[in-house]
Amino acid sequence: MEYKDYYKTLEVEKSASQDDIKKSYRRLARKHHPDKNPGNAQSEEKFKELQEAYEVLKDPAKRQKYDQLGANWKQYEHAGGHANDFGRWAQQGAGSQYRSASFDEIFGDSGGFSDFFRSFFGGAAGGATSFEGTRRRRSSGYRSIRGSDYQAEVRLPLADAFRGSSAVLNIGEQKIKVNLKPGVRDGQVLRVKGKGAPSPSGGESGDLLLNISVINNTAFAVEGNDLRLDVTTDLYTAMLGGKLTINGIDKPISVTLPRETSNGKVLRLKGQGMPVYGKTDERGDLYLKINVSLPKGLTAEEISLFEKLAALRR
């Protein structure tokens, strides 16, 4: 059995900083992610190796002990020993630097490691004769490595975001249907529990993270749960008051303009905005900015009437 060089797995030097290790892991994990390599057993195995290596090297304390134990492995290997006998060799005193720590003490509740770890740490001093034996004795506190999260983008028009929608996604080799409640917002991230990558050690699967992109192809501006819309009306309706009908996202909306509505006035229609995500019967507001259109191409009679009106106002 060959020694697992986790630095080599993550393509970093042994002197690499924690930040460099993290960056390299993320780069390689993206490259070999099962979502990007469906049905590729080689990439799946590589992804598991990356997780195992990062699980050890991301923690400074675990990393230090791994480096220390690695040195003892090399010492034992040079002495002509075999991997499966390493734990017994350590207990007998040849691995003096190693004897003081058991598997539990070194890696706590981290589990799901490869056969390399089971052989490498199996016979450590501290009472555990094998990795499996250790796991049985502390089964109530054992935690497997959690699967990684998948990410996917869901694009939908504003009208679908307004009334709610559903989407079918191809994630790896499975189709997943997700339901989006009314009021989902652009930039929102939704979590679908348990639909991510499976655990490499039989533990909990990761989650599916949905990045929402709402395509606004309407005249409405969206501000949180509120909507804004510019509305044009004629001079006479603005001055005398009257009713307007505007096309809402889901249905026509009737608006009553008060008399003497000035150009640029903003009307607030409470509860006529976007639905609040996850809350039934709760919505934001709709703000209407009134733009008054002045008449053009006046007839002689209209000009005369406006002149009389102007004289009355002097």
Q: What is the per-residue pLDDT across 246-265, written as a single tens digit (0 to 9) for each?
A: 999 989 999 999 999 999 99
Whether the predicted pLDDT of 92 surpasses 80: no
CA 298 – CA 70 distance, rounded (Å) = 94
CA 208 – CA 34 distance, rounded (Å) = 13
Q: Would you kindly state where each structural domain of the chain is located, as residue ranges? A: 6-141, 150-215, 221-312
Identify which has the larger pLDDT, 22 or 98: 22
Tell me whether strands 208-215 and 150-157 are parallel, antiparallel or unpaired. parallel
CATH 3.40.50.300 fits 150-215, yes or no: no
Of the candidates 259, 256, 255, the one whose C-alpha atom is nearest the C-alpha of residue 238 is: 259
CATH 3.90.79.10 fits 221-312, yes or no: no
Same CATH fold assignment for domains 6-141 and 150-215: no
Q: Is this structure's pTM higher than 0.75? A: no
Whether the predicted pLDDT of 216 surpasses 60: yes
Q: What angle do CA 307, 309, 311 make, to 5 degrees?
A: 70
Contact present, 289 and 266 (Cβ < 8 Å): yes
CA 8 – CA 12 distance, rounded (Å) = 6
Q: What are phi and psi of 24, to 5 degrees?
A: -65, -40
CATH architecture, range 6-141: Orthogonal Bundle (1.10)
